[in-house]
Amino acid sequence: MGAGRLLIAATPLGQPSDASARLVEALATADVVAAEDTRRIRTLCQALDVKLAGKVVSLFDANEATRVPSLVAEIAGGATVLLVSDAGMPLISDPGYRLVNACIDAGVPVQCLPGPSAVTTALAVSGLPSEKFCFEGFAPRKQSARVAWLQTLAAEPRTCVFFESPRRLADTLRDAVDTLGPERRAVVCRELTKTHEEIVRGSLGELAEWATDGVLGEITVVLAGATPRADVAMLVAEVDALVDGGMRVKDACAQVIADNPGAPSRRELYDAVLRARTTP
């Protein structure tokens, strides 16, 4: 019997036509399709006019641990197992991690068919910096845990992407306002690629107000990174250098602030310059 393999495949977020040709072929030829929701994968196949050749089994959080050994055994016996989630890339806040690691431990091939991802789709349309970013999965459900998590993002310079339930979005945005400040930029992406897709950009304060009356659909949030705080001692030294060159203190403070993103206010820097001059 030939060597089996595990295929990890991304599925459309909403539009069936976003399915890749490789996904269509894999659905039609795989010996086993391990799906987060068997009904949803059958609906996708119907929309794509694909007839499933192999058997379909469920693989979700509650049964993954018990399902993995039999799937690995089938792959070791020569079967091709196709792993899919409800939408987007498996393992990204979706089932599949245990299966992939078990296959790696068993020495069987693991391959990926790339495709849609809510994380990178939201990042791309957000308009926020994307050269560096972090993904935080789902925001914590309980407020105390959520606030503690938001505190870890207070100084995070990278753009952050996370998922949230529409039922908890308003609470999460209010907690974000309290923890990160109302001016931090963010984007809420609702129903990405679907008929009722909505992209709402603004400050956390504006978004919290927008979400007050409730929001429906799948939610992905993109949060701007924190603006790095400038080193005040270095800024004071820059001011002193400009003053030594003949500039007034207030004008020097204004120029240094303009040249340094993340600098404190003009009053704060001015006071720091005066304190430095009076400190022995």
Q: Coil, helix or strand for 196? A: coil
pLDDT at site 2: 55
What confidence tier does 1 reach under pLDDT thresholds 50, 70, 90? very low
Q: Are strands 133-138 and 198-203 parallel, antiparallel or unpaired?
A: unpaired
The class that CATH gives domain 119-223 is alpha beta
| Residue tagged 């490789």 (tokens) | 22
Average pLDDT over the chain reads: 94
Our CA dihedral for 173, 176, 177, 181, rounded to 10 degrees, sits at -150
pTM: 0.81
| Residue tagged 């250098």 (tokens) | 241
What is the strand order of the sheet 219-223 is part of?
133-138, 159-164, 219-223, 185-190, 198-203
What residues contact residue 276 under an 8 Å CB cut-off, 6+ apart? Answer: 233, 236, 240
**Is the pLDDT confidence value at 133 over 70?**
yes
CA dist., res. 119 & res. 162, Å (int): 8
**Is the pLDDT confidence value at 132 over 70?**
yes
Give the HSE-up count for residue 139: Cα atoms under 13 Å, Cβ half-sphere: 30
Task: Enumerate the domain spans of the chain.
Answer: 5-116, 119-223, 232-278
Backbone angles phi, psi at 167, to 5 degrees: -70, -25
Fold of the 5-116 domain: Cobalt-precorrin-4 Transmethylase; domain 1 (3.40.1010)
What residues contact residue 217 under an 8 Å CB cut-off, 6+ apart? Answer: 166, 190, 191, 194, 196, 198
- Give residue-wise pLDDT tens across range 63-100: 999 999 999 999 999 999 999 999 999 999 999 999 99
CA dist., res. 174 & res. 73, Å (int): 48
Cβ atoms of residues 211 and 175 within 8 Å: no
**Is the pLDDT confidence value at 129 over 60?**
yes
Backbone angles phi, psi at 153, to 5 degrees: -95, -5
What residues contact residue 225 under an 8 Å CB cut-off, 6+ apart? Answer: 128, 129, 132, 156, 157, 158, 159, 160
- Give residue-wise pLDDT tens across range 154-200: 989 999 999 999 999 999 999 999 999 999 999 999 999 999 999 99
Give the HSE-up count for residue 123: Cα atoms under 13 Å, Cβ half-sphere: 18
What confidence tier does 268 reach under pLDDT thresholds 50, 70, 90? confident
